[in-house]
Structure 1
Amino acid sequence: MGAAVSVGKNGAVQVPLFTTPVPQNGFAVSGSVGVPDTALLKQIQKHPAGLYANLYTAEGRLDWSGHH
């Protein structure tokens, strides 16, 4: 997805989850995101195991990977 990144290295954000600040008193969020770059979307659909996400919270960082 986008530029190749070495394992253990941070890459550039390809699909931002939040484009505005989350309310400080909120405890849950939900929604969806669009992927306007059709080439990136096709790559995500074809190789979902190559995905990863990082979500930073007051409690720390949550990580998700398409690898099982």
Structure 2
Amino acid sequence: MGEGVREVECPSCRAKNPDRANFCKSCGTKLKEVCDCWIKKEPYNCGQEKCPGYRLFVVEKSKT
């Protein structure tokens, strides 16, 4: 990691990730309950264990 970047350790595989990461870059484990969602552009919890990406809109629609 670069100088000044804080790290978080993945609870599943112990890989080091930037503290801003929503998911582990190594194994994909969710690191935060509420993600800094790149789709919604705001803090959001989709309830998924892996990022649904653009499928988020389908996931949301199926909840209603």
Q: Note whether the superposition's TM-score is higher than 0.5.
A: no
TM-score by length of 2: 0.22
Greater relative CO, 1 or 2 (CA 8 Å, sep 6+): 1
TM-score by length of 1: 0.21
Larger Rg: 1
